Structure 1
Amino acid sequence: MTTPSDPNRNPDACCDDPPAARTWTVDEHLADVLAQVAPLPPIELQLLDARGCRLAEDALAPGDLPPFDNSSMDGYAIRTVDTVGATERYPSVLGVVGEIAAGAGELPKVGPGQAARIMTGAPMPPGAEAVAPVEWTDGGTGTGRAADSMTAPLPEEEVRVLREVTAGAHVRRRGSDVRAGDRVLTAGTRLGPTQLGLLAAIGCGTVRVRPRPRVVVLSTGSELVQPGEPVGPGQISDSNSFTLTAAAQEAGAIAYRVGGVPDDAAVLRSVLEDQLGRADLIVTSGGVSVGAHDVVKEVFESYGGVDFRRLRMQPGKPQGFGRIGGGAGVPLLALPGNPVSAYISFELFVRPAIRTMLGAPDVHRPVVRAVCGSALRSLAGRRQFLRGWYTAADGTVEPVGGESSHLVGALARANCLITVPEEVLAVPAGEGVDVVLLTD
């Protein structure tokens, strides 16, 4: 890698910032954001309402699972001694003392020379040690041929077992899956279908979780129109609110897309006031750069808790962060309006905030080292984030598209961000770089 020739050079000299203006590093801004968000307080939810949430505490099994010995097959509950030496030619002939269905309460006792017809999941009767699958018997028909179903009519007097059955065969033992007191899920576990099924299986009707944060997403700009509507001169379709809402959902949040808000202070303030009641976090895009139409800054700064900053990064240099609303306020992250800048800013700052609020253990995207297939250039004093395609099979990465922050086509083809540190001006082909993976 090539570094600046003058180590004392002002890293912001390439920028248009006034000399006295402070610039923040990416790490400083991220640390400030994460210092002001925390996991949401735990709540008790019904199981299906908890899908996608994180456990607030360890889940302990109150009892054994399975709670009793039961059959894993349709067949006959038997004593193994009664089947010793059994073959198709010389079967063991057993008297059938009853039938046991799943959910049965009263169970027949199986004594010497006896068997009980049993269904899958039904409790094992006293005296029985194993289950002879119906395919190993004549099905109680008395014909001497093996049956392939449990359709033989009742009552039955005898069943022929056509092979030996070992002790414990086709029996699910009590506690073989989970023992009483076992920690079945640890705090922080994301609750998906299988985890919810486990909680239901051990008898939990509700669960204590960290709720999914409610994230309100809005784009600002009078040039924005709803996708599908006619685009007039100087107008563009609003894509940021869709990108950022989908990204928030993917990060684990409950996201509300508000859509485009015109450059009108009264309208923007009204929208914000309307959304504050249902937001744990507000994310905006647009209006954070230095410009004549600084409506976003005007409105946010009127709340008294939002700071607009310049970061040593490209793209995504202008950022806003703070709290708005009464009391402690709702965290607000104001992102740049260019689509690539907005998305990269989301990945670097908003996603970690959402994951922190979720109580997730994996707050940050994974970072791997990769060999860069093409030479790269970067600006001094800026941490560069280039779109790329990472190939895990050979550990290589190739840049996708150019550096401009409006190239959404290239962004859609990328699966990672190539990171070039602030002090590096160039990366030769074949050299190693850090890569932020954008897919889980």
Structure 2
Amino acid sequence: MLTLEEAQARLLALDPAQEAIEIECQSALGRYLSRDLTALRTQPAADLSAMDGYAVCGDGPWQRVGESRAGMPFAGSLAPGQCTRISTGAHMPTGSDRVLIQENAKADSNLIALAEGEDPPPPGRHVRKAGFDFGRGDTVLAKGTRLGPAQLALAIAAGHDTVPIVKPATVQVLDSGDELARPGSQCGADQIPASNGTMIAAMLAPHVGSVQLLGPVPDDLPALAAALEKADHPILVTSGGASVGDHDLIQRALIDWGAELAFWKVAIKPGKPLMVATRRRESGIQVIVGLPGNPVSSFVTCFLFVLPLVRAVAGVSDPLPKAETRIASEDLPAVGSRREFLRAVSDGARVRLAASQDSSALLALAAANCLIDRPAGAPAVSAGEPVPVYMLQNG
């Protein structure tokens, strides 16, 4: 079996074809740049005042000869002993080299002097020099940067009204199993509501363009083949049927459909039967990620594999989840040959196990807000020791 890191690396090396597009800045919140963004202009384009007051030339007192306002610069130039009224963000007039702030000035009609007890400002005081923020041609945002409010403001200030992103992936989710009933329908004693498809779609929705549900589908090759004929998006996620039982038919159905197995089985618990396949099409490679059917296993493997995949496709430069450290509130047992991800609840600095670690326990999963990462072969942990956790957006 592959280790977690080996499997993640092999999955992320696959490259479902996605189109690079330009979108308006006002629509780009939360997207990621597909290439470096360079400035089309210099900011600021000229020396500007950082304060309200007077732009002065030479030593005072100064004769006021005009005004420079933001958007309406003084048209002339200043000689020694002259000044203009100036507002924050206004152009420094030619000949001026500093700003005397309003609080430090004394005005007598058009004669401006230092207020009593104030020292003259040194050259360059309260002046924003041209280009101090960035210059034309500078890289202002790197490829893979997430576009938040400040990044969008920077892009616009740099002269852009659109930004380059990778077109968000569209994903289809197919959950399968004879025991699955459609949500809201009457379940027999031998059935359970099909919840995995909605769960997976909800996990992926913030990171993709759209998610379409194709199931639930029974454990039947013709039914699976019919569902797969509708799977035309760059990424397909299946849930259920990926193990080795007599009725686990996903692998066979995918191969009949023309997919090629990339790898199968990862040394993690829960989630060992994870499967990844690819299918070549004229429009580019299609990536299929087969998740186990137990809801907790499906959730954990979606978090560790499918979320990084869709983030990578969206342009995230470092798409893997990041571990944080918490203090164990209870003893944790030693770990066997497979790396374990324990459902847990963190209240800040400390973390405790959820009520159940069974891979079908949805009540405990819904209460969890993190996964405790327990490496394969790790010794027991005593209460009070630090453990790595992955925080979840899970309610």
Match of 1:258 in 2: 213
Q: Is contact 1:384–1:420 with CA below 8 Å preserved after alignment? A: yes
Q: Is contact 2:324–2:391 with CA below 8 Å preserved after alignment? A: no
Which residue type is aligned with residue 131 of structure 1?
Answer: V
Match of 1:129 in 2: 97
CA separation in 1, counterparts of 2:291 and 2:231? 18
DSSP-derived class of the 2:85 partner: strand
Indicate whether 1:336 and 2:277 are aligned: no
Match of 1:304 in 2: 258
Q: Is contact 2:36–2:143 with CA below 8 Å preserved after alignment? A: yes
Match of 2:55 in 1: 77
Q: Is contact 1:261–1:268 with CA below 8 Å preserved after alignment? A: no
Q: Is contact 1:69–1:123 with CA below 8 Å preserved after alignment? A: yes
DSSP-derived class of the 1:99 partner: strand
Indicate whether 1:37 and 2:15 are aligned: yes
Change (3 A) 1:270 1:230: closer
Q: Percent identity?
A: 33
Match of 1:326 in 2: 281
DSSP-derived class of the 2:59 partner: helix
Which residue type is aligned with residue 382 of structure 2?
Answer: A
Change (3 A) 1:172 1:294: same
Indicate whether 1:111 and 2:61 are aligned: no
Q: Deviations over 1:48-104 (max 9, x none)?
A: 444433334433334432110112334333335124xxxxxxxx6x33x33333223
Q: Deviations over 1:390-423 (max 9, x none)?
A: 5774xx5432222211223322333432234444
Match of 1:98 in 2: 66
Q: TM-score, normalised by structure 2?
A: 0.79
Q: Deviations over 1:263-306 (max 9, x none)?
A: 27666555544451xx3322222333455655645543321315
Alignment of 1:70-219 (within 5 A): 70-79=48-57, 81-83=59-61, 94-95=63-64, 97-104=65-72, 107-136=75-104, 158=110, 160-161=112-113, 163=115, 164=118, 165-166=120-121, 167-219=123-175
Q: Is contact 1:287–1:295 with CA below 8 Å preserved after alignment? A: yes
CA separation in 1, counterparts of 2:95 and 2:7? 70
Indicate whether 1:287 and 2:230 are aligned: no
Indicate whether 1:345 and 2:313 are aligned: no
| Matched residue count | 384
DSSP-derived class of the 1:243 partner: helix
Q: Deviations over 1:320-373 (max 9, x none)?
A: 321246344410112122221111111222123223334433232223566644
Q: Which among 271, 275, 280 is matched to residue 316 of structure 1?
A: 271
Indicate whether 1:400 and 2:354 are aligned: yes
Q: Which among 371, 375, 385 is matched to residue 417 of structure 1?
A: 371
Q: Which among 29, 40, 54 is matched to residue 32 of structure 2?
A: 54
Q: TM-score, normalised by structure 1?
A: 0.72
CA separation in 2, counterparts of 1:39 and 1:120? 49
Query: Post-superposition shift, 1:218?
Result: 4.2
CA separation in 1, counterparts of 2:224 and 2:280? 14
Q: Deviations over 1:142-185 (max 9, x none)?
A: 6xxxxxxxxxxxxxx62655525513333221122224443323
Which residue type is aligned with residue 438 of structure 1?
Answer: M
Indicate whether 1:360 and 2:313 are aligned: no
Q: Is contact 1:320–1:333 with CA below 8 Å preserved after alignment? A: yes
Q: Is contact 1:52–1:212 with CA below 8 Å preserved after alignment? A: no
DSSP-derived class of the 1:342 partner: helix
Deviates more, 1:109-118 or 1:428-437: 428-437
Query: Post-superposition shift, 1:125?
Result: 1.4
Change (3 A) 1:386 1:168: same
Which residue type is aligned with residue 237 of structure 2?
Answer: V
DSSP-derived class of the 2:388 partner: strand
Which residue type is aligned with residue 126 of structure 2?
Answer: H
Which residue type is aligned with residue 388 of structure 2?
Answer: V
Q: Is contact 1:314–1:383 with CA below 8 Å preserved after alignment? A: yes
Q: Deviations over 1:14-58 (max 9, x none)?
A: xxxxxxxxx555455434423323785644444344443333443
Q: Which among 201, 220, 225 is matched to residue 182 of structure 2?
A: 225
CA separation in 1, counterparts of 2:140 and 2:234? 30
Indicate whether 1:438 and 2:391 are aligned: yes
Alignment of 1:233-248 (within 5 A): 233-234=188-189, 236-248=192-204
Change (3 A) 1:259 1:100: farther
Change (3 A) 1:282 1:161: farther
CA separation in 1, counterparts of 2:336 and 2:128? 66
Q: Is contact 1:132–1:161 with CA below 8 Å preserved after alignment? A: no
Change (3 A) 1:118 1:372: closer
CA separation in 2, counterparts of 1:136 and 1:428? 64
Change (3 A) 1:74 1:269: farther
Q: Is contact 1:369–1:432 with CA below 8 Å preserved after alignment? A: no
Change (3 A) 1:261 1:125: same
Match of 1:427 in 2: 380
CA separation in 2, counterparts of 1:135 and 1:262? 75
CA separation in 2, counterparts of 1:374 and 1:120? 58
DSSP-derived class of the 1:195 partner: helix
Which residue type is aligned with residue 365 of structure 1?
Answer: P
Which residue type is aligned with residue 75 of structure 1?
Answer: G
DSSP-derived class of the 1:55 partner: coil
Match of 1:152 in 2: none
Task: List runs of 5+ in structure 2 lacking aligned partners.
Answer: none
